[in-house]
Amino acid sequence: MQVKAPRGTYDILPDQVHKWHYIEEVLKGTAELYGYREVRTPIFEHTELFERGVGESTDIVTKEMYTFSDKSKRSLTLRPEGTASCARAIIEHSLYNGLLPVKWYYTGPMFRYDRPQTGRYRQFHQFGVEAFGSTSPYLDAEVILLLVEILNRLGLSEFELHLNSVGCPSCREEYRHKLIQHITPVKDGLCKDCQVRYQQNPLRVLDCKVATCHEAITGYPTLSEYLCGECRDHYAIVRETLEQNGVKYIHDDNLVRGLDYYTKTAFEVHIPDIGAQSAIGGGGRYDGLVRDCGGPDLPGIGFALGIERLLLAVESLKSSCVRPVGIEAFVTVMDDKYELQAARLVNELRQAGIRTDKDYSGKSARAQMKYAAKLGAYLTLFVGDEEINGDFITIRDMQSKKQEQVARDHITDHVKLLLQNY
Ligand SMILES: [Zn+2]
Ligand SMILES: [Zn+2]
């Protein structure tokens, strides 16, 4: 029986991977420009970390985690997101005692057992940034400006930035009561999950993915009316800083986060062009997270972007700056007896930094030429009787079809010179 890749996973084949390289370079380059450095955490962690750091009552933890026991009966989970692992690493290495804020970025595969559909996979990829150790609203603005810069550099300037403040535990308390008062009379219209959770955590109803839950609670009071002085000021500075930097945003009262460790700034980015799954990422402040993960009271803010969604958006632009990396030079062997000389030439060119290849299937000279064209080689170099006897190499420009003979000793320099035209 043929074994196929598991449902919800996929191969990124070499003729697609250049797009990934392009996006990853933009992501890393921009984050580093803003002073963020890369962190790499394990793909799996103790299950408990995500229960605490993502939230025991969330869909991610209750329904979507890839959890397994290892041979020592420990419960481990493939990471469903990146922030909890960063918080764990900060605590584990006592980085809260060092230079603050700690500014990190990460990229890699995440895992969620979800119904696969276009742009959504069980192994998917995220890029994220996290800044721990400052409550400054200017840091919130910096993180959002970084996100905006990434989108601009990818050519995705037609995005919508949704922004809100979800307050702090003290101002949310009063709001929670108001919301419960509003929901109670219409609770029969809610989905099963919301009927259970609205008493304890009414904000989760606003967060619910079931559309009828939103319809049931129309006209609900908004959190922005209940923000305390500190949260109000914080939000005003974030907005002012974005405005001063020419960033357009939409204040969105529907943008809430149902978990206690989320505080103040919350944001999401949508790209309308890519359809129903238009949200390509989001983030916010999570001042209670590190404490909930067993660490000190260390504030934090960050965001994550879905790379598959970014790819969809970039592809819909038909971005011409993205093209596959091919070979530059191809060495054609005119006669079997010169294989050794050809191998030396290939090696020399590669050592000089020229992407070079040759045939390994005993093809005729003609077939080798076709092969070189398919590989996208710019130049073909011939090794035959004439060349060996005359101590030169014939070089053919694949586009102009011009040929020239170049002394064997000067070959790498000359090839480099010719490649400057490409
Ligand atoms: Zn507050
Ligand atoms: Zn619901």
φ/ψ (deg, to 5) at 292: -65, -25
For the domain made up of 14-168+228-316, the CATH class stated in words is alpha beta
What distance in angstroms lies between residue 263's CA and the mean position of ligand 1's atoms?
Answer: 8
Residues 30-49, mean pLDDT to the nearest whole number: 98
User: What pLDDT is recorded for position 319?
Assistant: 57
Return the pLDDT at 24.
96
Instruction: Kindly report, residue by residue over 310-327, the tens digit of the pLDDT.
Output: 998 888 766 555 667 789
Q: In the prediction, which pLDDT does 208 show?
A: 83
**What is the reported pTM?**
0.90
Pick from 9-18, 25-34, 400-409: least confident: 9-18
- CA–centroid distance, 237 to ligand 1, in Å, is 14
Separation in Å, CA 127 to CA 251, 266, 305: 25, 17, 5
Confidence band, pLDDT 50/70/90 cuts, at residue 333: very high
Q: How far is the CA of 247 from the centre of ligand 1 (A)?
A: 25
CA of 173, nearest ligand number: 1
- Ligand 1 mean position, distance from CA 232 (Å): 7
State both tokens at 338.
């010169």
What whole-number distance in Å separates Cα of residue 302 and Cα of residue 242? 16
CA 69 to chain centre: 28
DSSP letters along 33-75, please? HTT-EE----SEEEHHHHIIIIITTSHIIIII-EEEE-TT--E
| Residue range(s) in the chain whose domain bears CATH number 3.30.930.10 | 14-168+228-316
Distance 193 CA to ligand 2 centre (A): 6
Residues 26/27/33/38 CA torsion (nearest 10 deg): -130
Q: What is the pLDDT of residue 186?
A: 92
Confidence of residue 62 (pLDDT cuts 50, 70, 90): confident
- Contacts of 196-200 with CB under 8 Å at 24 or more apart are 197/57
How far apart are alpha carbons 254 and 224 in whole angstroms?
Answer: 10
For residues 260 and 290, the answer to whether their CB atoms sit within 8 Å is no
The residues of the chain that CATH labels 3.40.50.800 are 329-419
Which ligand sits nearest to residue 211's alpha carbon?
2
Q: What is the pLDDT of residue 276?
A: 65
CATH of domain 329-419: 3.40.50.800
Give the tens place of pLDDT for each residue, 157-209: 899 999 999 999 899 888 999 999 999 999 999 999 899 888 888 888 887 88
Q: How many angstroms is it from 226 CA to the middle of ligand 1?
A: 8
Say what percent of the chain tops pLDDT 70: 97
Which amino acid does the sequence have at 322? V
> What pLDDT was estimated at residue 116?
83
